[in-house]
Every structure is written in structure tokens, then in C-alpha cells.
Amino acid sequence: MPEYADTAWRGEQPFSCEFSVQSAPEDLLASGKACRAFHTILSTVCLVGFIVGTVFFLIAAFGSGLRLSVMINNPLFPAVYLGIGCFLLYGFLFRVDRKKREHHKTLGYTRKASHRLISATDLKILDFKCRPSAALGAVSFKHGSIKPTRWRKSIRHCANYRGVSWDEKELAYFAPSPFQGNMVLVQLVCWTLVVLGWPIIILHLLSLSYDEISVVGYVIFFLLSGAPIAHQLIRKETYVNHRGPKVFSLSRSTGMVSVYQDGALLFSHPFIDFNCFYKQVWFGGRTGWVRSLFMTYRNEDYPYDHVVDLATFVDSTAESSFLEVWEVIKCYMNVTLPLPESLFLAPRRPFDSVSAEYDRRVEGSPTVKEDMSDSEYEALLAAGR
């Protein structure tokens, strides 16, 4: 049984939750309308150019019977260079825009997301009073609707499921690796290389001439090359486990909240020294309400991007889900209370001294069990809603 550190949170209330929201400096201006319009137009042109180049290349490829000697002489074949050029330019614009956003966040400034912003921000500081509920963790937390059968089959042994690592010691979030974060881009590049490179590979392997390459050979190569990729992504959980660095962690055993940058510890402070903010902004149109839940250290003014983004643990866009997740985290961090009910924590309860004692003392605890059936779990979720 792990012993809790002296810094572990035992339900104490913070001395003060005061926090001053500073306005952005006036000398830090957003990009002008002309610059944003040019960026949008150029991005649209690149996207259209990529689509047109791809379509023309496919017309040239299939119009030539997928024979390389005929394909390269087709007037539409050079369109592939247009598609590649537009694709690279679009990627460059995306990286530049991301760098600018990160720079603005570091300076404490957030650009207005859209001209459709028609109402002020609703910013609330949430309290530290614990309100434990039997089915709270199962109903509102991330991936809480996953059925026990699927959990036992493919998720139980994951190091972290889509970045969420949760046990009796700490709750942590891991970022995707660079490969996983650019999965769509990687797949697009890989499949483009497969489509363009299959004739050359077959020629080198079998010493065939251009005219002997047929549609049948293309289909066989395409399926054989795609099967290992699909198998690794779907069956081997390559994408389910985030392979990137740790972003932040909330330690139940020590009561500390730690924030990391590029895998290195940036700062670590007691849980009680943070403020939790619930924020919602109305953007109108199809966007509607945009909600966020984050923790900031109360005693020092860290940059804007050095916050604990608790919205990564929210399984729904409803306001109640954001507020309930904060209740789950408070009950989890309070070492005088048992662990919240969740499939993540069900097999770890015997290793937590408070939870083990609670389960021995209270009949019917825990309510969420790893070996329960799907129907029992659905009934529990329905009762908790």
C-alpha cells in the first residue's frame, strides 16, 4: 500500500481564489484583415491546386492503362508536379501559422478566433469542495462510455489510452508523437508514394518492361502494401497509445500538479495552489458554444500556454460534463476519499489504501467492476445520468 506524502491534498480549502485577468498589451496587434485574407486565399488556392493535380494525374494514369511508358507521355501527367507543389506550400503555410499562434500565446495574447464572436466570455472560478458520487467517474470522464468487453479486449493493457494514463498514483496526459500528430499527412504522403512508386518497384524486383505492368499487378501490390499499415494502426494499437512526451500530471500520492515542456519538468506546485477556470464563448453559427476547463497556478504569472488543460478529459461538449470532470478530479486528488468509480481505476483500487479500506467497509463497493457485463454497465450509466 502506498503511503501518501505530506503534500497530498486532504480536502483543505484554499486561502484565496483571487485572480486578475490582464488585458492584452496594446502594442501586440493581430494580423490585419488584408494579411488574413491573403493567407486564406493562398491556402484555398493551394488546396484546390492539390485536388486538381491529383485528379488530372489519376486521369492520366488510368487513361494510359496504368502503363508507365504511356503515362509519362500523357499531356496531363505533369499535373502531378502541380499537386506536389501545392501540397508542400500548404504545409509551409500551416507551419508558419502554427508558429505565430504559439508566439502569441507565449506573450499572453490570444487572437480573436472569428468575426462571429458576438458575446463576452463567461469565466468562472470553480471551488474546491468535494461532492463524491458513486457513478460520477464512469459517467462524465473521458472514455467513460466504453463497454467493459471492449475494455478487457483492447484497452486494459494500454500504457495510455489516447493519451490518458490514470491509476492510483497519478492522472497524466501524454501528447501524440510527431508521427501520430501528423497521421493524416503521413498517410497522404505514404499512399502517394505507393501509387507513384509501384511500377518502379515491380520493375526492379521482377526485371519487367513497362508494357508488362498490368492493373492486376497494381491491385495486388496496393493491397499487400496497405495491409501491414492497416494492421499496425488498427490491431497493434500503434495510434491508441500516445508515444509523445508527458504534458502534465496530477499526482494523488503527492498532491502535486506538474507541467512539462518537451518532456522536461517545467514546474510542479501543490494542487491547492491552482485555480480551476471554466470558460465558455459564444461564436454563433454552427460553432455555437466553445467551452474550456483549465487550471492555472495562482501565485505566479506563468505564460498563457503553461496551463493544465483539463478539457482533454471531457467526453462531451455539454456544460455539465465540464463541471462534472472537475468534481471527478477533486475527488481523485483528495486522499481522504476513495478513488472515483471508473474502468481505468477499477483494477487499481486494491493498491490504494483508502479505496481498499472503503471497499471492505461498504457493501456493494465498488459499483464499477472490471469483469461486469455490458448490460450492467449501461444500467449504471443510465442511473448516473
- pLDDT at residue 113, rounded to an integer: 36
pTM exceeds 0.75: no
Residue 345 phi, psi dihedral angles, 5° rounding: -100, -10
At 28, is the pLDDT very low, low, confident or very high (cuts 50, 70, 90)? very low
Residue 220: pLDDT band with limits 50, 70, 90: low
Q: In a 3-state reduction of DSSP, which class is residue 18?
A: coil
d(CA 359, CA 341): 12
Q: What pLDDT shows up at residue 20?
A: 39
Q: Say whether pLDDT at 223 is over 60.
A: no
Q: What pLDDT is recorded for position 336?
A: 92
More confident residue, 252 or 242: 252
25-39, 101-115, 120-134, 246-260: range with lowest mean pLDDT = 101-115
Question: What does the pLDDT read at residue 22?
Answer: 39
Which of 212-221, 292-301, 364-373 is the least confident region?
212-221
Give the CA count within 13 Å in the CB-facing half-sphere of 57: 17
Kindly write down the DSSP assignment for every residue of 176-226, as one continuous string: PPHHHHTHHHHHHHHHHHHHHHHHHHHHHHH---GGG--HHHHHHHHHHHH
Question: How much of the chain exceeds pLDDT 70, in percent?
Answer: 63
Q: What is the mean pLDDT of residues 214-232?
A: 56
Strand order in the sheet with 170-174: 164-166, 170-174, 246-251, 256-261, 264-270
Please say if the pLDDT value at position 30 is more than 60.
Answer: no
Please, which residues have CB within 8 angstroms of residue 279's CB and are 6 or more apart in sequence? 121, 122, 123, 124, 291, 292, 293, 294
The cell numbers describing 236, all together, are: 497493434
pLDDT at residue 108, as a whole number: 41
Q: Examine the pLDDT at 217 and tell me if it is beyond 60.
A: no
- pLDDT over 60 (residue 171): yes
Domain spans, the chain: 31-111, 119-158+275-384, 177-240
Work out the pLDDT band at 21, boundaries 50, 70, 90: very low
Average pLDDT across the chain, whole number: 73
DSSP letter string, 336-383: TSPPPS-TTTGGGGGGSHHHHHHHHHSTT--SS-TT--HHHHHHHHHH
Work out the pLDDT band at 285, boundaries 50, 70, 90.
low
pLDDT value of position 333: 93
The mean-pLDDT minimum among 33-37, 119-123, 355-359 falls in 119-123
